[in-house]
Amino acid sequence: MERIRFDHPNFKEFFESKLPFIYRPDDDSKNLVDAVEQIQPLIFDHVKPAICLEIGCGSGYVINSIAKSFGSMIVKYYATDINSVAIETTIASGKANGVTNVQVVKTNLVDDLKRVLQNRVDLLVTNPPFEPSPIDDVGKEGSICAWSAGPNGRTIIDRILVEFPDLMSEHGVALMCCCKENDVEDIRREMKKRGFYSKILIEGDGTTSSSYNRIYYQYVVAFSKTNYWKE
């Protein structure tokens, strides 16, 4: 899969100047793009996606890599983030990499897109804040809100999962990053109750670009209303 680059001569300085305020793509971000690459046959043979959405786009690494690789094979791309610097950087990193077909929206999760996207999202990707943190750090201004997710790291994850039933199309696939502390099997059980089948696509130790300075055992999990994985 073609990855977007941050080292273009005219863009490098811009990107680096934003780094204290946005999430620098790390192993979690790369795992998410790897997972999309891994399920490409499923995406194009079965899902046949028209709409792709990223929740929490940060630098734009994930959504712009997907849009660069898949181009017009997907009709419409959307990306959201709550942080204005992330929005600005996603647009700029897209442009620097020749990607101009992503609609980037500053909103809390998907609040401003719910009506437009209801049951229409065919490919959803999200690398939410998943690191255990003091509860007071959740949603704080600046880069800390990119990774801080409360005592078991589930605060933002649980809010995102609540949105899946109303967002996802019948054949759509949602891919989400999380870590061991989030209790991946509990997440899968909760989603089963809401009618979603799931499969762990990627797992292993990895770094994140947070200030907590830890290595996390990370996952990328796929969810769908369709039983692609014959659970």
Ligand X SMILES: C[S@@+](CC[C@H](N)C(=O)[O-])C[C@H]1O[C@@H](n2cnc3c(N)ncnc32)[C@H](O)[C@@H]1O
Six token digits for residue 99:
């990607």
- Where would I find the beta strands (DSSP E) of 43-111? 51-55, 76-81, 102-106
Closest to ligand X by CB, 48 or 205? 205
Q: How far is the CB of 44 from ligand X (least distance, A)?
A: 23
Which one, 151 or 195, has the nearer CB to ligand X?
Answer: 151
Which pair of tokens denotes residue 77? 């791309």
Q: Whose Cβ is closer to ligand X: residue 49's or residue 128's?
A: 128
Is the Cβ of residue 58 or residue 132 nearer to ligand X in the bound state?
Answer: 58
**92: closest CA among 107, 79, 73?**
79
User: How many angstroms separate the CA atoms of 53 and 189, rounded?
Assistant: 24
What is the nearest approach in angstroms of ligand X to the Cβ of residue 214?
14
Please state the closest distance from residue 82 (CB atom) to ligand X, in A: 4
Distance CA 32, CA 221 (A): 9
SS3 141: coil
Residues that bind ligand X (CB under 6 A): 23, 25, 28-29, 32, 56-59, 61-62, 80-83, 86, 108-109, 127-129, 145-147, 156
User: Residue 78 or residue 147: which is nearer to ligand X going by CB?
Assistant: 147
Are the C-beta atoms of residues 4 and 90 closer than 8 Å to each other?
no
Record the tokens describing residue 20, joined without a space: 């204290």
The nearest distance, CB 111 to ligand X, in angstroms, is 8
Report in angstroms how near the CB of residue 151 gets to ligand X at its nearest.
17
DSSP state at residue 6: S
